[in-house]
């Protein structure tokens, strides 16, 4: 099968694997199919991430089988959530039973279609002129129609019926937005597949960036250990001591499941996840934001959503730059914020969507906590500057409009259109005859009647209801995630301490923010989007004047201020307040500009839609022209989109190639590194212990590449307590086998550290990641002189040392002879005064035939036999009374405690704290903005 076919197959499977699980749960919980599919990915992420934590708490491995088993619990929870709404529908159905022999509403036929629960009214009978239209209308309540009132016209067509306008799968309103999302996702994925297939290692290419090293290692850890708990990532990162570390694992857990299902390696899986997830969710988020900005379901909203979703590829700040800098889980999370926020804003109108809202909120938070702020502020601005003034339900009713019978018994029936006033007045009396004693209900009805006539009370309750539903959605999600979020609070200070200020004027920060020219955009290639921004301005003005939409503009300004503050800080106190929010996003403008770009492109879609509708006079109410205007506007929208999208794709063609290909340039992990990893994987005891090295040179990629147990899983190295074995080896690995107290056969602290850590090999693969990280001379230069190590592999600058104490002589000799430059490796020698050295001297020398590739001649060379030194004595300082007849020997060190394996403070092999800190600074281990563990 060709690579392109495999790529298309992998793409389809990955998209289905991300959407379908969440879509099914959403649909069962009460969402219609279009909305269930749109919110499918956030729900899937929430399910997978939360399952990883639950399974970890119960010591159950995280794998495909157990996650599938847990998925049924989420389906069960969705069914339980749906049952009260079905019960309410059944209760309403009971109230439609007419004493005069009328038939009840077919409630069974509506729940499986996943329709909302309404107060059903007796449907009009099918008309003789058009029985099909009448029958279809009898199945759906009248308030489903877009006009808000029933129509009995026999000239009605099938597309005017409520069944095609209720938001379900037969509603054509989702066609244009879906088409835009498909186009937007298709432009991303097609371009990415084209670039990846041109790479040397295609989807197995290793990213040479900073953060992706850790992402790949975490996916490997989940696959290997079955732990996808965000609170236990210290076991993956901090091998030495397992110091606690919170790291959001939802993105990595979903990637691990994709790898398991598709048979991908961790490296292939993270590449595929980065292709698929944001390529789908970015167009979805932008399209839904445009939909919400318009605020209705008309053609203008449809065109705005479809157009804005289709052209998102035009800006590099939404996908290309975030991928280039390696913030992959963050991009996945923030690309879902528009979907989740718009879903939550629909909950006051459709409370049944709360379950999906909770799952989506969890999906964002568990992939990365920082984008939660985008969801919270977006929903907050929408409610505070929009919904607060126009609540979903207007419960206030003028006193003179409430029927007199409401003061005794609430009217539980609704008369048919052809019923007269007498039948309306006699109906409550019939109810009273059936239930003569209803004093509590009469009191409740009186309170209800009085409350409805109090405008202030009714308005307050309506607003509290909306706010309560929104707050409950976020509160439930935070409550479920609290054990994980709580463990991450301790790391927030490290995140907020990072800044990336630039020497810019306030005008320059304004231009950079609204023209979306933040970090790396200049390298990507500047594109003139001025005309798109003019359409965005039109969209803002029209949304403000026509739809009275204030919240969208205010949120855009708020997001822009945070971005500008990240470039050049505002004066206090405003700068500090804005930095509290921006600091959660590492205070970097290229992250904070993403919500700004989303809203600018959403407003651009609104502006284009408004212009199209204005050109074709969509405001004219003439019936014939209205149909013609709809057709012409749709055709024009499709035509304009078909012109803009190719231009947008072409404008980023060179920049996208630069962004992707430069990530995979052979800078840190070259072909020589791959060859070394492959060679090492075949050697004895390669998987039995720990492979040590300099974390800054990227040797830890071997763990994600072929599961070799490297100590480092990231460029920044492990976090361990002072004096931990990893710290000792970092500063003193060259002392392995060097002896102690003048005795070459005594073990020293380096030998003990290697044994305690279980080190079998040491790998060096320079250069370091950052230019300011100086080489660790204790390893790069002095390691060749360590008596307890044997150089078994060397290719160019890559060297692999074996710890003699972990291998037999035959194993060490065989490894030396199997390398690419075996005849050039130095012959290992033992200290002459050691037991091994004396034995080697007694064994004599050996002859070796060497081949000169330039002259083609073979020469016989006499060399000493290899000697593999292994200190065997414990580290015990000599005592004065042990010197028989000699002057007391004053040891240079205070010795070692054999029970605790800890050196005294006076040990000559222990570095002073000042010296150790100096070496860490020289080797690039100091805390730096660039050299931190990010997510």
Cis peptide before 234 (omega within 30 of 0): no
- In angstroms, what CA-CA distances link 27 with 86, 254, 271, 565? 14, 21, 30, 42
**Residue written as token pair 């379908």:** 20
368 versus 617: which is more confidently predicted?
A: 368
CA-atom Rg of the chain in angstroms: 35
Q: pLDDT digits over 686-724, tens only?
A: 999 899 998 888 889 999 999 999 998 888 878 878 888
- Residue 783: what pLDDT? 85
Q: What per-residue confidence (pLDDT) applies to 225? A: 92
Q: Residue 649: CB partners within 8 Å, gap ≥ 6?
A: 187, 191, 313
The pLDDT > 90 percentage for the chain reads 39
Q: What is the pLDDT of residues 186-197, one digit of tens each?
A: 999 999 999 998
pLDDT digits (tens, 9 = 90+) for 524-556: 877 777 788 899 999 999 999 988 899 999 999
Q: Higher-confidence residue: 380 or 912? A: 380
427 pLDDT higher than 90: no
pLDDT on residue 323: 92
Strands 789-795 and 902-903: unpaired
Q: For residue range 904-920, what is the model confidence (pLDDT) as tens digits?
A: 333 333 444 444 444 44
- Is 90 exceeded by the pLDDT of residue 586? no
pLDDT beyond 50 at 812: yes
Query: Higher-confidence residue: 254 or 526?
Result: 254
* Tokens 């990010």 -> residue: 934
Average pLDDT over residues 145-159: 40
Residue 821 has pLDDT above 60, yes or no: yes
pLDDT for position 599? 96
Q: Could you state, in order of their start, the residue ranges of all structural domains in the chain?
A: 3-78+175-389+491-659, 671-922
pLDDT score for 504: 80
Q: Tell me the pLDDT of the chain averaged across its residues.
A: 79
Find tokens 């409610």 and name the residue.
Answer: 383
Phi, psi of 577 (to 5 degrees): -65, -45
CA dihedral 111, 117, 122, 125 (to 10 degrees): -50
- Name which of 34-43, 354-363, 417-426 the model is least confident about: 417-426
Query: Helix, strand, or coil here: 850?
Result: strand
CA dist list (Å): 4 to 192, 657, 743: 12, 18, 64
Cα angle for residues 557, 574, 555 (degrees, 5° grid) = 20
Terminus-to-terminus CA distance in the chain, angstroms? 36
DSSP reduced 3-state for 513? helix
Query: Which phi and psi angles does 21 have, rounded to 5°?
Result: -55, -50
Of the candidates 197, 199, 198, 220, which has an alpha carbon nearest to the alpha carbon of residue 208?
A: 199
Determine how β-strand 690-693 pairs with β-strand 789-795. unpaired
The dihedral over CA atoms of 47, 53, 55, 58, expressed in degrees to the nearest 10, equals -150
- pLDDT for 97 equals 53
What pTM did the predictor assign? 0.81
- Read off the pLDDT of residues 460-495 as tens digits, 9 standing for 90 and up: 888 899 999 999 999 999 999 998 888 777 666 666
What distance lies between CA 842 and its chain's CA centroid? 64
| DSSP output for 756-823 | HHTEEEEEE----SSTT----HHHHTGGGG-TTEEEEEEETTEEEEEEGGGS-HHHHHHHHHHSTTGG
Q: What is the pLDDT of residue 100?
A: 45
- HEC readout, 832-845: CCCHHHHHHHHHCE
Query: DSSP string covering 221-290, please?
Result: HHHHH----GGGTHHHH-TTT--------HHHHHHHHHHHHHT--HHHHHHHHHHHHHHHHHHHHHHHHH
Asked whether the beta carbons of 225 and 242 are under 8 A apart, the reply is: no
Nearest to 711 by CA among 673, 756, 759: 759
């Amino acid at each position: 099968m060709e690579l392109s076919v495999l790529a298309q197959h992998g793409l389809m499977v990955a998209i289905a694997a991300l959407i379908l699980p969440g879509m099914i749960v959403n649909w069962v919980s009460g969402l219609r199919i279009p909305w269930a599919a749109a919110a499918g990915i956030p729900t899937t992420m929430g399910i997978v991430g939360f399952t990883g934590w639950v399974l970890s708490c119960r010591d159950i491995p995280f794998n495909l089988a157990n996650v599938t088993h847990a998925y049924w619990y989420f389906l069960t929870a969705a069914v339980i959530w749906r049952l009260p709404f079905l019960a309410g529908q059944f209760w309403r159905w009971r109230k439609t039973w007419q004493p005069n022999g009328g038939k009840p509403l077919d409630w069974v036929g509506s729940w499986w279609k996943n329709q909302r629960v309404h107060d059903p009214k007796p449907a009009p009978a099918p008309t003789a002129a058009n029985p099909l239209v009448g029958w279809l209308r009898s199945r759906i309540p009248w308030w489903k129609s877009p006009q808000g009132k029933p129509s009995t016209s026999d000239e009605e067509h099938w597309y005017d019926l409520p069944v095609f306008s209720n938001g379900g799968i037969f509603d054509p309103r989702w066609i244009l937005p879906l088409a835009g999302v498909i186009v937007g996702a298709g432009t991303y994925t097609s371009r990415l597949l084209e670039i990846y297939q041109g790479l040397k290692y295609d989807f197995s290419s290793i990213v040479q960036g900073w953060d992706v090293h850790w992402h790949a290692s975490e996916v490997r850890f989940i696959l290997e250990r079955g732990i996808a708990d965000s609170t236990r990532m210290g076991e993956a990162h901090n091998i030495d001591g397992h110091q606690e570390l919170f790291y959001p694992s939802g993105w990595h857990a979903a990637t691990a499941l994709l790898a398991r299902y598709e048979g991908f390696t961790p490296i292939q899986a993270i590449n595929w996840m980065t292709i698929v997830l944001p390529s789908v969710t970015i167009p979805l988020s932008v399209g839904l934001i445009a939909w919400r900005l318009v605020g209705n379901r008309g053609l203008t909203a449809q065109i705005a959503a479809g157009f804005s979703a289709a052209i998102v590829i035009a800006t590099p700040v939404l996908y290309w730059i975030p991928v280039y800098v390696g913030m992959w889980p963050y991009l996945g999370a923030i690309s879902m914020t528009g979907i989740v926020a718009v879903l939550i804003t629909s909950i006051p109108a459709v409370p049944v969507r709360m379950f999906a809202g909770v799952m989506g909120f969890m999906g964002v938070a568990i992939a990365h906590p920082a984008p939660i702020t985008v969801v919270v502020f977006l929903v907050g601005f929408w409610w505070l500057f929009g919904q607060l003034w126009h609540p979903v339900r207007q419960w206030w009713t003028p006193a003179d409009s409430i029927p007199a019978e409401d003061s005794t018994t609430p009217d539980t029936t609704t008369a048919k259109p052809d019923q007269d006033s007498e039948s309306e007045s006699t109906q409550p009396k019939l109810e009273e005859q059936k239930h003569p004693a209803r004093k509590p209900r009469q009191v409740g009805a009186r309170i209800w009647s009085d409350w409805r006539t109090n405008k202030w009370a009714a308005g307050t309750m309506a607003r509290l209801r909306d706010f309560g539903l929104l707050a409950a959605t976020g509160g439930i999600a935070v409550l479920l995630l609290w054990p994980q979020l709580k463990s991450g609070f301790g790391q927030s200070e490290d995140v907020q301490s990072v800044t990336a200020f630039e020497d810019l004027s306030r005008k320059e920060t304004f231009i950079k923010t609204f023209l979306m020219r933040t970090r790396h955009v200049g390298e990507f290639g500047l594109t003139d989007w001025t005309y798109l921004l003019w359409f965005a301005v039109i969209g803002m003005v029209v949304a403000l004047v026509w739809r009275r939409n204030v919240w969208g503009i205010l949120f855009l300004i708020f997001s822009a201020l945070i971005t500008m503050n990240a470039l050049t800080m505002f004066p206090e106190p405003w700068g500090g307040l804005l930095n509290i929010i921006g600091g959660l996003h590492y205070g970097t403008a290229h992250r904070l500009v993403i919500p700004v770009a989303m809203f600018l492109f959403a407003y651009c879609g609104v502006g284009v839609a408004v212009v199209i509708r204005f050109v074709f006079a969509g405001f004219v109410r003439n019936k014939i022209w209205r149909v013609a205007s709809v057709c012409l506007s749709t055709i024009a929208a499709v035509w304009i989109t078909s012109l803009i999208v190719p231009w947008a794709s072409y404008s980023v063609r060179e920049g996208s190639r630069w962004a992707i290909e430069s990530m995979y340039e052979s800078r840190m992990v070259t072909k020589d590194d791959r060859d070394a990893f492959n060679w090492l994987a075949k050697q004895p005891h390669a998987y039995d212990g720990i492979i040590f090295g300099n974390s800054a040179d990227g040797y830890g990629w071997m763990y994600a590449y072929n599961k070799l147990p490297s100590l480092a899983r990231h460029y920044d190295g492990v976090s361990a307590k002072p004096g931990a074995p990893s710290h000792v080896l970092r500063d003193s690995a060259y002392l392995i086998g060097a002896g102690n107290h003048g005795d070459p056969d005594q073990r020293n602290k380096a030998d003990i550290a290697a044994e305690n850590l279980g080190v079998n090999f040491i790998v060096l693969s320079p250069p370091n990641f950052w230019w300011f990280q100086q080489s660790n001379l204790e390893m790069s230069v002095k390691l060749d002189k360590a008596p307890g190590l044997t150089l078994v592999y060397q290719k160019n600058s890559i060297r692999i040392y074996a710890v003699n104490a972990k291998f037999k002589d035959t194993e060490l000799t065989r490894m030396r002879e199997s390398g690419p430059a075996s005849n050039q490796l130095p012959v290992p020698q033992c200290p002459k005064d050691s037991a091994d050295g004396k034995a080697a001297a007694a064994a004599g020398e050996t002859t070796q035939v060497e081949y000169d590739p330039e002259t083609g001649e073979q020469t016989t060379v006499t060399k000493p036999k290899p000697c593999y030194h292994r200190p065997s004595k414990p580290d015990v300082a000599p005592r004065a009374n042990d010197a028989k007849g000699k002057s007391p020997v004053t040891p240079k060190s205070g010795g070692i405690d054999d029970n605790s394996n800890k050196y005294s403070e006076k040990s000559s092999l222990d570095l002073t704290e000042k010296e150790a800190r100096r070496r860490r600074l020289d080797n690039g281990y100091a805390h730096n903005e660039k050299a931190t563990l990010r997510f």
